[in-house]
Chains A and B, each alone.
Chain A
Amino acid sequence: MTASLPALWDAGVLEALVAQSASLLTLDNFWLSALLKILLCTVMLMVVSLVGGYLEHKAMGHMQNRTGPMEAGPHGVLQLVADGIKFIQKEDIVPRAADPLVFAVAPGVALVPALLGFLVIPLGPGIWAEDLELGLFYALAIGSVGVLGILMGGWASANKFSLIGGIRAAAQLIAYELPLILAAAAVAIQAGSLSLVDIVESQATMNIFGTPVSMWFVFPQLLGFAIFVTAALAELSRPPFDMPIADSELVFGYMTEYTGIKFAMFLLTEYGGMVFMSALISVLYLGGWQPLPGIGLPGCEAAAGISDCGALGTVLGVGIMMAKIMALIFVMVWLRVAYPRLREDQLQKISWLVLIPLSLANIVVVAIGKVAL
């Protein structure tokens, strides 16, 4: 891919960051492959998020003894599309006391990181935009930029409820970024790489006393998995950690004053974040696109690892990854349906007094295991 990089980017740094594994999306023509990659991220954000949103509507509806949307399209499949059209039509209201520029920019600041995060997520054998050496680092870093947008929106709205919501979101981010990173670090230690593709591949080939064993990281790191999922929920402000929105206390938190397309962008950020975090969890702990531990996709050549499968294997791999994402989203929805909300100080206590010590212990155990085995 470096052959056609513009001179500005061709500094060698980027090249060094890009890992060995080749992406199917990287073509000879730079512009064409760039287009494909942009398409991948956009589809993940705009389409998969909507599917996740539909899943939330329906699963939540049926768990609550109702049907969810039924009118727009068969069984309401087009409900979110209709909602999107509605949001576009709505009046864009900016409060008089608001800071108009920050108010307008905030949804974008929140949305763009959610879009960029998908750049490094491997969706199937050979299906990823970039395989960065620092993929995991990049994913976690870009994921935490979004809170800036939330903070900006909360502050610029000139509304006390928005402000409290924004502050809560920032406090939550600080508290939960740490266990999230520490849990992910344990995975990186075990995989021996920060590249997300390498992490997936290493879950197919793990050596215990010299014997290759296929094992998803969720088994040796069940504790780390629990910590990561909890922290991810808090980072996404999903119930039971949705204090920044807390609709019964703060009206709608930082989104209170937003209407129309800006509001839709915040909502899309939330659902895009859910998809992103679910994808990250599947990559880190659930073996990425592998159907079952120890069972590879059809058509994968042993020599190229599991990243080069035939057409059938690729399609199947992407399907399996999507199924895992949806299953994780379902779990998030399930938790939302079943649980009330925690209090902000309880949330902080859980993070600092429970999750962080546990994740440190987890790292120690994993590191010892890595050296010993």
Chain B
Amino acid sequence: MSDLDTAEQVLPGTAPGEDVVFELRGDADFDTAEMSLSIGPAHPATHGVLRVVLDMDGERIRAARPVIGYMHRGFEKLAEYRDYRQIMALTNRHDWLSGFCNELGVALAVEKMMEMEVPGRAQWIRMLLAEWNRVLNHLMFVGSFALELGAITPMFYAFREREDIQYLLESATGGRLHFTYNQPGGVKIDLPKGFLRESVGLVESTRARLPDYVDLVLGNEIFQARTKGIGALPPEVALAYGVTGPSLQAAGVPEDSRVTEPYLKYGEIDVRVPTGDNGDSFDRFAVLLGRIEASLDIIDQIHDHIGPGPVNTKLPKMVRAPEGATYVRTENPLGQLGYFLQSDGSKNPWRFKMRTPSFSNVQSLPYLLRGQLMPDAVAILGSVFFVVGDVDR
């Protein structure tokens, strides 16, 4: 806020706080009133309860401040009072679009501390479901990003695909969002009969439908006019903010834990990491579609590798991680998920710290939104993929 000749005009009757103050201030060539616009916590563009306070000059954004914490549920503290089985049920809820990948992180952390051998079949099943979960998550953002630019149709197509995938995952895990299928040492129960056959078929049908999104969204001239060059995130800025996942890959950095630090059996298969050139909204969307395609390719490879065998190991009555600490990072659909687990040998973790991708991705918003137009702000909010539960935890 400048200390030039300021004149305040307060609208009567609206809520107190900075939102109601219209501040008039001098500008280089055109005098306009600066307006503070609060997008959220309940606003269609933030799909969740993220709040972004914009200082606007007409439709031009001077500064943007994300206000987070509306959905803070205290997962980290809660986890200190839950045993490891219960933590799995908790963690698939902070990023509700990637439940399986979240629980996978906990399982890997506990297994690492207990130095547990996980049967091969269990690892392949975990990878299979994690990749399906990734496709599920990305389809959601393909739909919601287009929706934010005013294209309503991709959302419906994406939900058709999501429904098929969710039905498949439900047949194995019993859940559609919160799978709760992992356990330390493997997965709870083997896949039902016919799962793999359906999975093979679903890869084909999903892949056959992907060109629809290219035709409808990516190749559309209006979409390109709206997103090309908008919200470009240079790689060094992205790295400085700790942005990971599709947003970082769109900036041209091929960072992906599945490749750079393989866990499970990702080292044995070929993982393609699509990258962009400019890091703008268009590239982020293209990378997202590319990641769906890459995940489908990975699923094909998993189908070839998955063999017979046990899917879990015998567990003690109460899982206790030995004293010590560990950090496990996995490539979540939205970026890098890290779990820091410190145990004092009891059945609960002594400290359970989450490094969630959405939290870091949202930090880049002030940089991205500065100087943009209000409609572009929405395009940027939709393309810096985040889940508010994952931001606030």
Contact = CB atoms under 8 A, between A and B. Distances in A.
Interface residues of B, number: 35
Interface in A331-370: 336-346
Contacts of B157: 64-65
B153 interface: yes
Which range contains the number of A residues in contact with the other chain?
20 to 34
Interface in B72-109: none
B318 interface: no
Contacts of A242: 150
Interface stretch (B9-17, B133-141, B325-333): B9-17
Interface string B137-160: 000000000111111110011001
Given A246-B375, A340-B220, A251 B152 contact: no
Contact of A340 (B35, B45, B146): B146
B160 A65 contact: yes
A152 interface: no
A96 interface: yes
A97 B152 contact: no
A215 B377 CA distance: 48
A166 to B, nearest CB: 13
A97 B378 CA distance: 27
Interface in A43-67: 63-66
Contact of B150 (A64, A97, A341): A341
Contacts of A240: 150, 222
B392 interface: no
B284 to A, nearest CB: 15
A248 interface: yes
B375 A249 contact: yes
A297 B216 CA distance: 41
Nearest to B45: A248
Contacts of B216: 338
B305 interface: no
Interface string A237-265: 00110110011110100000000000000
B37 A64 contact: no
Contacts of B223: 340
B44 interface: yes
Given A64-B152, A65-B157, A251 B217 contact: no
Nearest to A95: B13
A103 B171 CA distance: 53
Contacts of B160: 65
B13 A342 contact: no
A248 B146 contact: no
A274 interface: no
A251 B45 CA distance: 8
Given A64-B152, A248-B45, A339 B226 contact: no
Contacts of B13: 95-97, 158
A242 B146 CA distance: 15
Interface string B351-375: 0000000000000000000000111
Contacts of B148: 248
B44 A248 contact: yes
B374 A239 contact: no
Contacts of A63: 153
Contact of B222 (A65, A246, A340, A344): A340
Contacts of B376: 343
Given A249-B374, A249-B375, A340 B59 contact: no
Which secondary structure dominates chain A's binding surface?
loop
A337 B154 CA distance: 9
A350 to B, nearest CB: 10
Nearest to B227: A340
A339 B152 CA distance: 8
Interface string A167-199: 000000000000000000000000000000000
B28 interface: no
B14 A97 contact: yes
B226 A97 contact: no
Contacts of A338: 151, 153, 216, 220
A226 to B, nearest CB: 16
A160 B20 CA distance: 10
Contacts of B152: 64, 336-337
B59 A344 contact: yes
A277 to B, nearest CB: 20
B156 A248 contact: no
A63 B59 CA distance: 33
A135 B37 CA distance: 44
Contacts of A147: none
Contacts of A249: 45, 374-375, 377-378
A123 interface: no
Nearest to B22: A160
Interface in B23-59: 35, 37, 43-45, 59
A16 B37 CA distance: 54
Contacts of B377: 249
Nearest to A159: B14
Contacts of B14: 97, 158
A265 B240 CA distance: 51
Nearest to B14: A97
A164 interface: yes
Nearest to B160: A65
Given A158-B14, A240-B150, A248-B150, A339 B222 contact: yes
B44 A247 contact: yes
A240 B225 CA distance: 13
A239 B216 CA distance: 15
A345 B375 CA distance: 10
Contacts of A65: 156-157, 160
Nearest to A245: B150
Contact of A251 (B43, B220, B222, B225): B43
B374 A164 contact: yes
Contacts of A337: 152-153
A343 B373 contact: yes
Contact of A346 (B150, B225, B374): B225
Given A251-B43, A340-B222, A164 B59 contact: yes
Contact of A343 (B37, B43, B226): B226
Contacts of B222: 240, 339-342
Contacts of B150: 239-240, 242, 246-248, 339-341
Contacts of A345: 373
Given A340-B226, A344-B59, A64 B45 contact: no
15 contacts: A64-B156, A65-B157, A240-B150, A246-B150, A246-B375, A247-B150, A248-B44, A248-B382, A337-B153, A340-B150, A340-B151, A340-B220, A341-B151, A341-B226, A343-B375
Given A337-B153, A340-B151, 14 more contacts: A64-B152, A95-B13, A97-B14, A164-B374, A240-B150, A242-B150, A249-B45, A249-B374, A249-B378, A340-B146, A340-B149, A341-B151, A341-B226, A342-B222
Which 8 A-B pairs have CB atoms at the shortest separation, nearest pair first? A341-B150, A340-B151, A340-B149, A97-B13, A64-B156, A96-B13, A248-B148, A340-B150
